[in-house]
Structure 1
Amino acid sequence: MLHRLSADDPRFRTVTFRTGLNLLVAHTRGESSGTDSRNGTGKSSMIELLHFLLGSTVRKHSLVTRPALRNIRFTLELDWPGQARQVKVSRCGKRHKVVETNALLGERVQQGLDFDDDGFEYFDELTVTEWTRAIESHLFRLPADHGPGISGRAMLSLLLRRAGAHAFNSPVQTFPQQRPSDATANLAYLLGLGWQLAARYREIAAREATRKQLRAAMDDPAWARVVGSTADLRTKIVVAEADVERLTREVSAFRVVPAYEELKKQADELDRRVRALPDEDVIDRRNLADLRRAVAETNDPETEYLERVYNELGVVLPDGVRRSFDDVRGFHHSIVRNRRRYLSEEIAEIERRLADREEERTRLGDELSATLRALQEGGALDGLTARQQLLAQKQATLAALRKQHETALALESSQREIAEQRATLRTTLKADIEERASQTREAILMFTEFARRLYGGERDAYLLIDAGTHSLEITPHVDSGDSLGINRMVIFCLDLTAAVICHRHGRGPDFLVHDSHLFDGVDERQIAEALKLAEEVCAREGLQYIVTLNSDVLEQVRLLGSVQHVSPIEPKLDDRYEEGGLFGFRF
């Protein structure tokens, strides 16, 4: 139960709550002018402050971030389950990420609240996350592993609807962007229905949203490069697997040769020498042929014909001439003999070189084969490193292709799987609703009772609870003909039903707060009956109902005989420009 809303700014008009029905009324002063207004007196701001102190997220345009308010420290005093003394919680817009409380939470969020022995003067600083976790654990009894889609903050938004969040547009959703699956899961928890099953719709919805985004991306020509078809990817995977296997074998069989570069240079030199030998052979064989031809052409000159010629001419050569001629002939014979010997030696040298080269050719061939074999069987360390890097790249490519293939398969089969999951979840949830017949009966009968109190038995009024395709369907209905006022009273009946049931079964707090916007367009007779009903229910169930009203609406309600004995709570807001509002000044 809420007790007191205050601030450290003396101009702020402290709000004091009580049990049962609480009416925070904005009055019109007798001396008010035609330009004064009860709009802006702080009725909706009070609900914003309650949310702020109960852990709401502060955004750029939040009320407490305004320059006139950001340094003010607001405080809420409220009852806490299992504690005899009230809990104080304080928060400031300037330090909105910190929550101060006189109860020692800290690391004892799950063990419970312990008060400091010195009383309320001690304040423990918590993060907003720790504070909201404590609210979930103690006010709503949510298990710590409740999962996404359901939260204490979402349920507080049902019990403290905010006009600024457009919470009165729908009975189930508390803001327009809220997923129906999330909204019904939180309401299901308050009503005692299968909220875990209802929350599973969120997972399916998230998966379907992802699938739709992927399907939309398929219209982009770049899609094939990102994911591709399963057939193309299967082919690429086969090729990539073969490359990885080949490189794996090469790396496994690779032998590092320490003198790899020297061997490579040696092989190049041997190859160059082997290639040069035939050219040298050609030159020597050509010279050998020339020498052999020269030997064949080297003979002693014929001299016998000279003496015969001289005899036929009758010339007798003297002995001196004969001796000179014999000397010349001997000289020429010596020259021919020397030339033949020189040519023979040259021929022998060339033949030796040819034979040596033949042996060298055989030897070089053996050496080159051995060197090339060593190079082929192993390599330098950088060669092994390069192969290992290439193998790693191929393995990464293969892993990426397999992931793409999984994504493509998931996309192709996701629609069928999602439909199957929805059907299975819907069947399971229908069975769960049947098993929770007592809980559904309690909620349906209570809502119908409240609606009939407001509109009688002539209008068809019911609370539909069913397993839908996309979410648990909780649909409150009162025949209205699209009347805004009746639709607002549907919200009143649903909220009151949820507040009673969750408090009755220990799943929620004992307060319900409504802004005066709830009664926009509502006939004063239904407003009067709604306030009377809320008063009776609060008395019976031990609840606290806080509602803001304008004084003219309250006067009309009292004329109809409702809640005449109920006096508004303090402060009494009015339309005085400066001091009449909740904050005591205008900003």
Structure 2
Amino acid sequence: MLRKIYASDIRFKRMEFHPGLNLVVANKTTDSRDTDSRNSAGKSSLLELFHFLLGSRPSGHLAASKALKNITFSLELDWNRAYPRVAVSRSGARADVIGVTPNIALRQDEFLFDSPSDSANISVPQWNALIEEQLFNLRGDHPGVSGRSLLSFYIRRVGSNAFNEAIRASHSRQSQIDATTNVSYLLGLDSELVNKYKEVAQRENARTQLQKAAKDPTLGRLVGSTADLRGQMNLAIQRIEQLRTQVANFRVVPEYARLASEADTITQRLRDLANLDSIDRANAEDLRRSVEETSDTSSEYLAPAFDELSITLPELVLRRYDEVRAFHDTVVRNRRKYLTEEIQEIDGRLHARAAERESLGARQSEILRELNEGGALESLTVLQQALATEQSRLDTLKHRFEAAETLESSKLQIEAQRAQLRRDVSQDLSERNARIDRAIRLFSTYAQQIYGDMRDAWLSISAGQKSLQIEPHIASDGSRGIGQMKIFCFDLTLAVIAHRENRGPDFLVHDSHLFDGVDERQVARALDLARTVTASEGMQYIATLNSDVLDNARSYGLEPDEYIIRPHLTDAFNDGGLFGFRFDFSNRTSGSPKGAS
């Protein structure tokens, strides 16, 4: 239950609430001007503050206005058995920080180091998570259901157009699926199943958007056709398999760069040896020809020649001739010996090079074999990068294929999915028939206590084509007043069922706008119904009202005095209203008054 609201500014009208019926009344003062009205007394602002302190967004909020942002507002409320009473504080200046006392965000295992009674500052998401867990018993994943959306049914705000339609309380643009998913949770239905309507809607929306994109000359090429994309995907898969095999079989060779350099050096050395061999073989061939051409030049032909010429050589000349011939023979032998030695030296070099070439060839084969069996770490990295790139390309192709498949899938496929979901939801509703009947009877009972037997009232719940259909009905001529009471009975039904089954808090708050256009008799009966229901269910109902509406309800048997919260709100110019001063709230939301006090 909501127990107390107050602020750091002493002008603020501090209010304390109690179990059962609570009436916050706005009076029109005698000194108010003709232009004043109780619309600026702060009734709707009270509900805005409740939402602000219960985790709403600060953007455009009343508490974040220039006149109020430095004021710290606080709310005390019942929490759980471990923390019977919790105080929460928040200001517009530090709207992202929630002060809580005690520290309800403290885990059980942290009690050894921190006292559970200490205050703490927590974030807005943390606070909303605690609200979901403790007030609405939402644990784990709960797709489509949020504490903030659920709170909108407990504290409807006129600024969110929450009084236009019973099923939509968060804002007028809230989708039917989002609204019914949250309502189904409060009623104890399968909210996860109901939320699947959103998946079908998203698929249909994606198909619509893709159809539009496919008609665009540029975007159409980005999507492509399933036939082309399937072929590209197969090629990409083959390439990925090849790269994976290469990576799996790759062996990193230590000192790969050194081995590669050594192999290059050996190759160059083998080239040099081949060149040297070629030169030496040419030289050896020349030397062998020179040896063959070198012979013992004979000088014996001189004597017969001289004889034929009848020239007799003296003995001295002949002796000299013999000496010359002996010298000549020596020169010839020495030349042949020299040429032979040169040939042998060349043959030696050729033999040595052949041995070196054989050794270098063996080493080169060993290096090349090792390099062929593996590679450098850089090469492995390149392979891995190529694999990652190809995998990314395949993922992109898959997304494009899914998009193209969605585009090319017929409307009948989506309708088939929707029809199957509708059957599943219908089956689930049939299995929960007893629960649904209790909700229908409860709503009908509340409506009959307001209107008697003169109007039929029922709650329809069925599996629709595009969402779960939940609609409260009170037979009427379409008047606004009956429509407002339909919201009243609907909210009370949700709050009671959820509270009985520990899925919702024990309070319900209604703004005075809910009673606009409602006959005084129905106002009196509605407030009396809230009194009796909250008393029997152990709950709390808070309503803001103008004093004249309450006075008219008195004439139909309502006795409200003991339920009126003090102090009254007024439209006095100087110190009236909830905040105790008049200011201009320029960042108001739709339906909020320009002036607030």
Tell me which interval the TM-score lies in, with the shorter structure as reference length: 0.7 to 0.9
How many Å apart are 1:158 and its aligned residue? 0.7
Q: Does 1:101 align with 2:101?
A: yes
**TM superposition shift of 1:369:** 1.9
Q: CA deviation at 1:580?
A: 0.9
Contact kept? 2:79, 2:86, Cα under 8 Å: no
- In 2, the alpha carbon distance for the partners of 1:299 and 1:487 equals 150
Are the aligned partners of 1:20 and 1:545 in contact in 2 as well (CA < 8 Å)? yes
* CA spacing shift, 1:272–1:165, aligned 2, 3 Å: farther
Residue 144 (structure 2) aligned to one of 144, 149, 167: 149
Quote the Cα distance in structure 2 between the aligned partners of 1:297 and 1:479: 148
Deviations 1:243-300, CA, capped at 9 Å, x for gaps: 3323543417x5868973556534532332123311332243245435544x269664
TM-score, L = length of structure 1 = 0.78
In the aligned structure 1, how far is the partner of 2:482 from the partner of 2:335?
A: 135
Partner of residue 233, structure 1:
233
Counterpart in 1 of 2:336?
A: 344
Task: Kindly indicate whether the alpha-carbon contact (under 8 Å) linking 2:250 and 2:374 is maintained by their aligned counterparts in 1.
Answer: no
Deviations 1:41-94 (A, max 9, x none): 2111100122233x21342433333344344343334455669x9725230315
Deviation, 1:494, is: 2.0
SS for the counterpart of 2:107 is helix
Indicate the SS of the match to 1:473.
strand
Partner of 2:565: 569
> Secondary structure, in 3 states, of the residue corresponding to 1:581?
coil
Q: How does 1:48-127 map to 2 (within 5 A)?
A: 48-53=48-53, 55-79=54-78, 87-93=85-91, 94=93, 96=95, 97-101=97-101, 106-107=106-107, 124-125=119-120, 127=122
**What CA distance in whole angstroms lies between the structure 1 residues aligned with 2:73 and 2:509?**
18
Q: How far apart in 1 are the matches of 2:309 and 2:108?
A: 152
Q: Are 2:528 and 1:535 equivalent residues in the alignment?
A: yes
Contact 2:256 2:376 in 1 (8 A): no
Instruction: Quote how far apart the aligned CAs of 1:201 are.
Output: 4.5
Of structures 1 and 2, the larger Rg is shown by 1
Q: Once the two structures are superposed, what CA deviation does each residue of 1:15-55 show, in whole Å capped at 9, x if it has no partner? A: 344555444333332332233233332111100122233x2
Q: Give CA-to-partner distance per residue, 1:223-247, whole Å, 9 cap, x none.
A: 78xxx93432331232232233235
Give the match's secondary structure for 2:177: helix
- Measured against aligned partners, the alpha-carbon deviations of 1:193-228 in whole angstroms (never above 9, x if no partner) come to 22343345556667777888899888375678xxx9
Q: Secondary structure at the match of 2:189?
A: coil
Q: Confirm whether residue 512 of structure 1 aligns to residue 508 of structure 2.
A: yes
For the 8 Å contact 1:75–1:88, the answer to whether it is kept is no
Q: Count matched residues.
A: 559
* Separation in structure 1 between the aligned mates of residue 263 and residue 518 of structure 2, nearest angstrom: 105
Q: Secondary structure at the match of 2:543?
A: strand
> Secondary structure, in 3 states, of the residue corresponding to 1:569?
coil
- In the other structure, the counterpart of 1:276 is 276
Q: Per the alignment, in what secondary structure is the counterpart of residue 517 of structure 1?
A: helix
Q: How do 1:334-413 residues align onto structure 2 when only pairs under 5 Å count? A: 334=326, 336-379=328-371, 383-397=375-389, 399-400=391-392, 403-404=395-396, 407=399
Q: 1:574 to 1:563 in 2, by over 3 A?
A: farther
In structure 2, the partner of 1:427 is 423
Match status 1:181 vs 2:177: yes
Amino acid at match of 1:356: G
Q: Does 1:523 align with 2:517?
A: yes
Q: Which 10-residue stretch deviates more, 446-455 or 527-536?
A: 446-455
Measured after TM superposition, the shift of residue 376 of structure 1 is 1.1
- Using the TM superposition, give the Cα deviation of residue 584 of structure 1 relative to its aligned residue in structure 2, in angstroms: 0.5
Q: Where does residue 501 of structure 1 map in the other structure? A: 497
Q: What residue is the counterpart of 2:251 in the other structure? A: 251
* 3-state SS in 1 of match to 2:314: helix
Structure 1, unaligned runs of 5 or more: 117-121, 312-316
Aligned to 1:314: none
1:11 shift after superposition: 1.0
Q: Go from structure 1 to structure 2 and tell me whether the alpha carbon gap of 1:249 and 1:540 turns closer, same or farther (over 3 Å shift).
A: closer
1:43 is aligned to 43
Structure 1: distance between partners of 2:41 and 2:315: 163
How many percent identity over aligned positions? 31
Change (3 A) 1:279 1:477: farther
How far, CA to CA, are the matches of 1:77 and 1:572 in structure 2? 20
| Deviation sequence 1:113-155 (CA, Å, 0-9, x none) | xx99xxxxx6643635565455444543x15325343233322
8 Å CA contact 1:288, 1:350 repeated in 2:
no
| 236 and 123 in structure 1: CA distance in 2 versus 1, 3 angstrom threshold | closer
Q: 1:358-405: per-residue Cα shift (whole Å, max 9, x none)?
A: 434532332132011121122599954234434443554465456556
Correspondence 1:190 to 2:189 = no
Structure-to-structure mapping, 1:296-315, within 5 angstroms = 300=299, 302-304=301-303, 306-308=305-307, 310-311=309-310
Q: Is the 8 A contact 1:109 1:130 kept in 2?
A: no
2: CA distance between counterparts of 1:299 and 1:518? 149
3-state SS in 1 of match to 2:526: helix
The answer to whether structure 1 residue 172 and structure 2 residue 167 are counterparts is yes
Would the aligned equivalents of 1:7 and 1:75 in 2 still touch at CA under 8 Å? yes
SS in 1 for 2:40: coil
What does residue range 456-495 of structure 1 map to in structure 2 within 5 Å? 462-477=458-473, 487-495=483-491
Q: Is the 8 A contact 1:190 1:498 kept in 2?
A: yes
User: CA offsets, 1:280-323, max 9 Å, x none?
Assistant: 32243245435544x26966484356435543xxxxx4x6x433
Kindly provide the amino acid, as one letter, of the partner of residue 183 in structure 2.
L
8 Å CA contact 1:42, 1:582 repeated in 2: yes
Please tell me the residue identity of whatever aligns with 1:158: F
Amino acid corresponding to residue 145 of structure 1 in structure 2: G
Structure-1 separation of matches of 2:524 and 2:356 = 114
Mapped partners of 1:288, 1:340: distance in 2: 15
- Once residues 103 and 375 of structure 1 are traced to their aligned partners in structure 2, the CA distance between those partners, rounded to angstroms, is 71
RMSD: 4.4
